[in-house]
Structure 1
């Protein structure tokens, strides 16, 4: 005899997360000029700790494309848009030296490409896609301290969440016209909520 049917958890149609952990109330609409393209590794999509959903909800010009390997022509179409200069947010690494970065004017229209993956997987994505490796890069020389380690381990001291890295990059590109504070505050509350759910529940009684 079959058991009772398994009921799937209700999901929010906007953030696509379970209703119990919906992020929509945390989203903070943030004005920005730079287009943001996030190439998200498929494993990150399933991470409850992932910061990209909150980023997508808060930035008006943010596109998220999920994949690990991309067909070359399709990737070029994603990376380059008419009238936009593209930059890849990624540090200089010996195995994939950064190409020269052309000068840009203060009013340049930019498209920022961000890889959302673990360090090892993001490096593999870079090495396996020549179109990515050929992009001029934007590097965060001294990333601001992260609150992300409260919920997710990092192998490198300079590692921050994708949301934090993108916000810092936008602040570098757009200067004082970009107000990062509300979104970073929302992210801090997101981290605190995840950390609270991860803590072992106190015992309600003793034997």
Structure 2
């Protein structure tokens, strides 16, 4: 029998994160396109990002037939996804505010979203700078600079609109990680996930 869940954050009621989720304004609009498999992920950070921002929208699916209607509408649309043509944030343009379209899923599933929605492939691409590291202490990043969706959103918004303005978005993310570590137990966490000490050079 499944445990009762919060209708908003989708966490078990005993571990509800809603008290930590802010409601932050932003000039930049976030359109997060989530692969359906991510809904069941224990760390559904895209949902936390969408709940924490007043100017954000979360859509779940693999093919988004209504995507053309969601785009433009007074915004400059850019795809937050690496590629040879991607420009590092922040980006300047005309007087219209920026809209970031953010695919949410593993790298393979995110690329699948682009394949299934060719309109995404026509959008200008933006990316984050090199050298970032994730706070997700329970998972080894699949590649250098790989962040969870909520971390990528926070970095992108702070680059575009100002450092420190969106750090509060990470509070439920940090609590979620701390809760998972507590459930695992310190001994098991230290054995499998704690950073290994570096060996001194000879």
TM-score by length of 2: 0.81
C-alpha distance in 2 between matches for 1:8 and 1:201: 28
Taking structure 1 as reference, are residues 133 and 198 closer, same or farther at Cα in structure 2, changes over 3 Å only? farther
C-alpha contact 2:31 2:102 (8 A) present in aligned 1: yes
Structure 1 partner of 2:76: 85
2:169 aligns to what?
183
CA separation of 1:18 and 1:189: change in aligned 2, threshold 3 A: closer
Query: Which stretch of structure 1 is more off in the superposition, 61-70 or 189-198?
Result: 189-198
- Report the counterpart of residue 119 of structure 2 in structure 1: 131
SS of structure 1 residue aligned to 2:162? helix
Gaps of 5+ in 1: 1-6, 203-207
Moved over 6 A (4+): none
After superposition, the C-alpha distances for 1:46-95 in whole angstroms (9 at most, x for unaligned) are: 01112122212211111110011233xx12123x14111111100015xx
Q: Match of 1:113, SS?
A: strand
Corresponding residue for 2:180? 194
CA contact (8 A) 2:74 2:96 kept: no
Question: Is 1:76 the equivalent of 2:65?
Answer: no
- Deviations 1:17-70, CA, capped at 9 Å, x for gaps: 221221202212223111111100111000111212221221111111001123
SS across alignment from 1:112: strand
- CA apart distance, 1:145: 2.0
CA contact (8 A) 1:11 1:18 kept: yes
Structure-2 residue corresponding to 1:45: 39
Query: What is the CA–CA distance in structure 1 between the aligned matches of 2:174 and 2:28, rounded to whole Å?
Result: 23
Q: TM-score, normalised by structure 1?
A: 0.79
1:150-161, aligned counterparts within 5 Å? 150-161=137-148
Q: CA deviation at 1:186?
A: 3.9
Q: 1:201 to 1:155 in 2, by over 3 A?
A: closer
- Please, which runs of 5 or more residues in structure 2 have no aligned partner? 189-202
